[in-house]
Amino acid sequence: MALAHAILAALVDAPCTGYDLAKRFDGSVGFFWSASHQQIYRELSKLENQGSISSESILQTGRPDKRLYSVTDLGEQHLKEWIAQSCEPTPIKDDLLVKIFAGHIVPKQIILAELEHHQETHLKKLSTYKELEQCYFQNPQELPASGKFQYLTLLNGISYETHWLAWCNQVRELLNQTIEN
């Protein structure tokens, strides 16, 4: 997947400014596809040059004009074609797993400290996802189709973070029960 697809996916339901898109990205697509605001603005320019999105200038008093971006028919067609293509699962690349794989060569406290850091991070993300679920997805069956599909990605995030937390607990338990150092 390219950033272009993530941007088209974020824009397909409603036009918005680059600033609003970056904020929307941070609170939705950004949970599973990371990009800096600078990368998003660069990609918006490329997508507009390719004809996948269009923009209109919105005059502002005392501030620079805003640009409102929207997906063109061509952009929606590109997104549909990309969605229809099969994709492979993303290979796992995780520093923590490599550290744990070779963790027997360091005192277990080093691994436990690293594990605690990761556990805190996953707990914060899970809390964020649960808040989003409470705020926007209390009745998923009543959502429009776009909302239901967005909810499915949120469910994946909740499952992912829940799994990580359970695994961290398993690791901690095993290390504390069986490893002396």
**Same-domain check for residues 123 and 163:** yes
pLDDT confidence tier of residue 181, bands split at 50, 70 and 90: low
Domain range for 20 is: 1-84
**Same-domain check for residues 115 and 137:** yes
Q: For position 40, what pLDDT does the model report? A: 92
Mean pLDDT within 112-125: 97
**Same-domain check for residues 112 and 52:** no
For residue 180, is pLDDT > 90?
A: no
Average pLDDT, the chain: 93
Tell me, what CATH number does 28's domain have?
Answer: 1.10.10.10
The Cα–Cα gap between 2 and 19 comes to 20
Mean pLDDT within 48-63: 94
Q: For position 1, what pLDDT does the model report? A: 61
DSSP readout, 39-104? Answer: HHHHHHHHHHHHTSEEEEEE--TTSPPEEEEEE-HHHHHHHHHHHHS--PPPPP--HHHHHHHTGG
Mean pLDDT within 130-152: 94
- Total count of domains within the chain: 2
Instruction: Evaluate whether residue 89 is within a structural domain.
Output: no
